[in-house]
Structure 1
Amino acid sequence: MIRLSKHQLFTLMFIFEVGSTTLFALGINAKQDAWIVILLALLIGLGFAWIYTELQSAFPDNNYAEIIIKILGKKFGVILALLYVLDCIWHVGRNAREFGDLIVITILPEVPLWFINFIFISVSLYTLLKGVEVLARTSEIIMPILLLFMISIYVLVYISGGVDFRRLMPVLGNGIKPVLQTIPSVVMFPFGESFIFLMYWHYVNEKNAVRKTAMNALFLSGILLCFSLIMDISVLGVKYTSIATIPLVETIRTVNLGDIITRIDAIGIIIIFFGGFFKMTIYFNGIVEILVTVFKIKNHKLTLVLFSIFLLWFSIVFEPDYAYHKWMYPFDVHYFGIIYSNVFPLLLLMIYRIKKKRAEL
């Protein structure tokens, strides 16, 4: 029986939320006010986290697929659970592709994308074959390293003298409208993606600590992402941040301490690798858990292996290049991402409350 401590849950969620977000300039459509977008989206994201944990508290020993089926019944519940598989396949495919493209763009331009993705997915598969608890224990080791690297990077960037906080001015110089228009996409990515932990919360030993732990992880990761974006804009400026292929890497490239400490891009790659690995692996296992639950599959490990083969193929063919990948980000968020991460959980909670009230009459 899988069991997770609240500390393991915290580290898993924290790294998941940081995930691949460092590849993007979140909320940059609001220009220098993008950091305000992140903070407001974080507050809304915490509200949806309350909804997710409310569903979990109603069914403390069930995963999300089981919760959906219990609320909607077998017929409609299975359909919605399988729709979530399609949504998560999109996310896990994107995460795998992000990592492959990152390595090709930055350090191994001559290596075939399929080979890089094969190694990446193989490591993820190996970890999951060992069990979710191994993944959780690994996150406990990785999180301090991730934090140390990110803090060190921005300290070095600041010491290098490239930071100019005047680039964040004027605050709300274009009014509140651009901020409000940009919030929905950031609410879903990354904060809304935490719905996938409905597949993991039933493993936690202390069920009454799930909400507090999840909220803390979301809050602290959101503050870190906000600070990271502030540094990117302060170093690169709004225009360059918005068009940079990988803003974090471009920011790191400005580090130069007496021509001794310079070109430390590898640290940024490691940060993105850690985040991307955990994000993809958590989605990967979540999909398999849904399939195992819906179809009552007994051989969990075989399902992991078969899905990893499909994932390798899908991560290669579903996008032509990285430019297309970045273009698709606002599209999938606005057209279906919000539905799965925000709309469906709210509707499920409402239906559950209505059915519970009727049963009490």
Structure 2
Amino acid sequence: MERISQYQLFVLTVFFQVGTTIIFGFGAAAGRDAWIVTIISLLVGIFVISIYLFLSYLNPGLTLVEWFPAQFGKWIGTPIAWLYPLLFLYEGGRILNDIKYLTTTIILVDTPFLAIILFFLLVVAYLQYCGIEVIARIGEIFFPYFLVMILGSVVLILVSDILRVDNLLPVLKNGWKPILASTFPLGASQGFAQSLELAMIWLLVSTSHKEIVKTTLFATVFSGLLILITVLMIITGIGEFFYKIESFPMFALVSKVNIGGIIKNLDAFAVLLFIISAFFKLSLHLFFAIRGFQILTKVESSRKLIIPITIISIYLGYSVSSNYEEHIKVAIEVFPYNLWIMLLWILPFALLIVTLIKRAIKNRKKEMAQAKE
């Protein structure tokens, strides 16, 4: 069985949670109060991830797709379990769409969509053959450079003197309604509640469950702070109006950087940050999907599933949305309400209740049996 280290779990968790949020406007519907959305989403995310970790503790030796058959029974639990690798596969297709729309809009304007999708998927498919250990090692290598690029971008933006704290004022001008609407389900699910997928690899971490809990929660706080810093910089740099209407607000911010007429436009930094984080999130989505299908179909080797899953991913990446406006509309108005609420919130909480009830009944029977003896 493959194994990853505690630090590698931290790295993969950060890459997964940050994902493409550093480029798109997190909580943009709340305007200048998006930073409040980020904080509340992080707190809710810590809570729900703690629930997932507790479920892992209550179902030792089992992955996410095995929890439901174990607690709900074969006939109810198995069909529910199948929904999750299908969700992971669909989310992988949406990441491919993020990649194709950004690259063809910003850097590779005349490049066909299919060429971009094929390039990314060929590399990602190769990593699936290599396994989670190789994905984790590559993440371990890239992570310091990723942080250096973020830190470098922050420093250069600060030196450029383009940030205006006044852009954050007045706070709560439109009240709490847009903040709460942006927090749930979208803000709290995007990256944070999505971390339910990591339950597919918690068993592969070569440390105790207690350390897995600490590492995952610490990584969640770290990811939340990275997103918060990004949101604050973008809002103070380009203002509420442009934060809400820009397709890629991070690029609008870095395009304003100008230090003595020598260092200008940090587009390359922003593109690299996006590609690195999107690459790892896509790799993990597909790994979780393949591993889930392998467990449910009882296929001996996951390698048999890589080619068909990759072909399906190419189809999804090419056809899941016909244009950028449709892609964003589905991401904000359809996907969170029709899929995330049920699969990331309702079903895990129902599973927790059933698991605790069954555990209590089992303990009660055990106590009664011991009393008779």
- Rounded to whole Å, the distance in 2 between the matches of 1:164 and 1:8 is 37
Q: In structure 2, how many angstroms separate the alpha carbons of the residues matched to 1:105 and 1:182?
A: 26
Q: Deviations over 1:94-122 (max 9, x none)?
A: 00111122111111111111011001011
Q: Secondary structure at the match of 2:66?
A: helix
Structure 2 length normalisation: TM-score? 0.94
SS at 2:73 equivalent:
helix
Q: Which residue of 2 aligns with 1:344?
A: 347
Deviations 1:202-250, CA, capped at 9 Å, x for gaps: 1011122111111001111001101100100001101101111111111
Percent of residue pairs identical: 28
Q: Amino acid of the residue matched to residue 112 of structure 1?
A: P
Q: Which residue matches 2:297? A: 295
Q: Structure 2 CA distance, aligned partners of 1:6 and 1:59?
A: 20
Aligned partners of 1:203 and 1:59: how far apart in 2? 15
The separation in 1 between residues aligned to 2:165 and 2:119, in whole angstroms, is 40
Specify the code of the residue in structure 1 equivalent to 2:338.
Answer: Y
The answer to whether residue 322 in structure 2 is matched with residue 320 in structure 1 is: yes
Contact 1:87–1:337 at 8 Å: present in 2 too?
no
Q: Corresponding residue for 1:258?
A: 260
Report the Cα distance in structure 1 between the residues aligned to 2:15 and 2:45, rounded to whole angstroms. 16
Paired letter, 1:226: L
Structure 1 residue 293: Cα displacement: 0.6
Given the alignment, which residue of 358, 361, 364 partners 1:358? 361
Offset from partner CA, 1:282-301 (integer Å, 9 cap, x none): 11011111111111012311
**Aligned-residue CA RMSD (Å):** 1.1
| Ranges in structure 1 where 5+ consecutive residues have no aligned partner | none
* Distance in 1 (alpha carbons) for counterparts of 2:116 and 2:108: 9
What code does the residue aligned with 1:357 have? A
Equivalent residues of 2:31, 2:243 under 8 A apart = no
> 2:367 maps to which residue?
none
SS at match of 2:161: coil
Count of aligned pairs between the two proteins:
361
Q: Which runs of 5+ in 2 are unaligned?
A: 365-373
- Report the equivalent of 1:240: 242
- Report the Cα offset of residue 264 of structure 1: 2.3
Greater CA radius of gyration, 1 or 2? 2
Stretches of 4+ aligned residues off by more than 4 angstroms = none
Are the counterparts in 2 of residues 45 and 191 from structure 1 also a CA contact under 8 Å? Answer: yes
Please say if 1:113 is aligned against 2:113.
Answer: yes
Q: Which amino acid aligns with 2:140?
A: E
- Cα distance between partner residues in 2 of 1:35 and 1:200: 31
The match for 1:157 is 157
- From 262, 271, 274, the counterpart of 2:273: 271
Instruction: Report whether the alignment pairs 1:199 with 2:209.
Output: no
Deviation string, structure 1 residues 222-281 (Cα, Å, up to 9, x no partner) = 011011001000011011011111111111111111111112201101100011111111
Other structure's SS at 2:22 match: helix
For 2:314 and 2:251, the matched residues in 1 are separated by 26
Aligned to 2:122: 122
Normalized against structure 1, the TM-score is what? 0.97
**1:48 aligns to what?**
48
Of 291, 294, 306, the match for 1:304: 306
1:302-349 Cα offsets, whole Å, 9 max, x none, are 201210011011110121012211111112112221221122111111
Q: Which amino acid aligns with 1:338?
A: I
Match of 2:371 in 1: none
Deviates more, 1:112-121 or 1:321-330: 321-330
Task: Check whether the contact 2:90–2:316 (CA below 8 A) recurs between aligned residues.
Answer: no
Q: Distance in 2 between matches of 1:73 and 1:23?
A: 42
